[in-house]
Each structure stands twice: as C-alpha cells, then as structure tokens.
Chain A
C-alpha cells in the first residue's frame, strides 16, 4: 500500500523557519518525481515546489522562491521542504504528493499544518 506521511508542521513566528518531512513507503520512491502543494484555510490548492526523481530538476512557485528549499533523500525514502522567512500568508496545510511532468499526482499524503503567527 502506498503511503505518504508528512510531519514537521506546527506554530512558528513570522520570520521563523520550519522543516517539513514526507516519509514514503509502498512504492519505489527513487523512481518518482515529488511535489509539495499547500492549502490555506478555506482556500484552494496551490503548488509550491517540484523535485525530480534524482533531485536534479527543481522548480518553485514564485510566492516561495528564495525562501523555501525542496530536497530528497532516496536512501531514506524521504522528501523535505525547508521553510525560511515565514510569513502569515504561508499558513496552510502542506501536502506532499508524487508528481509527473506533464502528468498527474497519483498519490498524496494527508498533510501537515503550518501556522505562522505571533
């Protein structure tokens, strides 16, 4: 059974940092591109970042470029998102998901909530 489990969310002050993790199981993680998608409370889905299966190709949404860093460790079947210089508008549930270009995201985690507030 495919599983993606996010962790690392929590309450952080504006300007602070957080590192999100996504643990993958049930599929060959190293064969899959991965993405992060977020959803602010009561709002729609917003793509955040993409990383290719080898980590060579990385893309970011304009809203997070320069502040967030995506990475992966294929030996640990894990995906990461480093969030720096956090703003109130970064408050959201962050989902990890498999990603293809230009294909769909077949598998999604349940999400982890990041709250940026003083």
Chain B
C-alpha cells in the first residue's frame, strides 16, 4: 500500500520559517493536499493541488513539490500555527485516499 512519510515533529521560533516534508514514491505524479488540525478540532484544508491556497489561509502558507517530496512551508511563523499537519493524496492504484503520518509543529 502507498505510504506518505512525514517527520513526527518540527520546532520553530516565532517569526522563523517551518518546512514540513511529505515523502512518497512517485509523489510527483500525484496531487498533494495539506491539512492543519488543532487539538480537539476537525482538520482544516490549508493547501491543495500541491500549491494552491484556499481562501482565508494566510499567504505565509505555501506548498511545493520536488522529486519524491512535497513540502508545506510556513513563513513568519506565529503562535497560532502550532498544530498537527497532514499531507494527503489519492492513490489511483489502490483506489485509496492516503494520509501522511502527521507532523506536530511546535512554536518555541
């Protein structure tokens, strides 16, 4: 089955840049979406189709993809960005949605 691997945690100081990676075999051929989830809340879409930002999501959030890795970048990190982040793809081979393992972003 298809696997998406994320680092368990990323720590960043306020005002700095956080980069969250999502690795998967041949991910370049898939559309990657990113969700933010705060404790006790439902996930919120923060990036879709690799690098498109939904309305209401700050421009500080950006997405990219290179090789076998997709990356969600949060610039000028704020305390309110502290959350778990998940990448997601549709795997057409298995006809399954796949979520990444999740990354906890801690703002120091």
User: What residues make up the interface of A, taking CB atoms closer than 8 Å to B?
Assistant: 35, 37, 44-47, 50, 59, 61-62, 95, 97, 99, 101-106, 108-111
- A110 touching B99 in the complex, CB below 8 Å, given contacts A45-B86, A102-B92, A104-B48: no
9 smallest CB-CB distances across A and B, nearest first, come from: A102-B90, A47-B97, A104-B33, A104-B48, A44-B102, A108-B42, A45-B99, A102-B31, A59-B95
User: What residues make up the interface of B, taking CB atoms closer than 8 Å to A?
Assistant: 1, 30-31, 33, 35, 37, 41-45, 48-49, 54, 84, 86, 88-90, 92, 95-102
Q: How far is the CA of A50 from the CA of B88 in the complex (A)?
A: 14
Q: How far is the CA of A102 from the CA of B86 in the complex (A)?
A: 16
Residues of A close to B42: CB separation below 8 A: 95, 108-111
**B56, chain A: closest CB distance, angstroms:** 11
**Do A102 and B30 touch across chains, with their CB atoms under 8 A apart?**
yes
Residues of B close to A108: CB separation below 8 A: 42-44
Q: How far is the CA of A10 from the CA of B90 in the complex (A)?
A: 30
The contact of A45 among B43, B44, B90, B95, by CB within 8 Å, is B43
**Do B43 and A46 touch across chains, with their CB atoms under 8 A apart?**
no
Residues of A close to B48: CB separation below 8 A: 103-104
Residues of A close to B1: CB separation below 8 A: 62
**Do B86 and A50 touch across chains, with their CB atoms under 8 A apart?**
no
Residues of B close to A35: CB separation below 8 A: 97
**Do B49 and A104 touch across chains, with their CB atoms under 8 A apart?**
yes
- A105 touching B45 in the complex, CB below 8 Å, given contacts A47-B96, A61-B96, A62-B1: yes
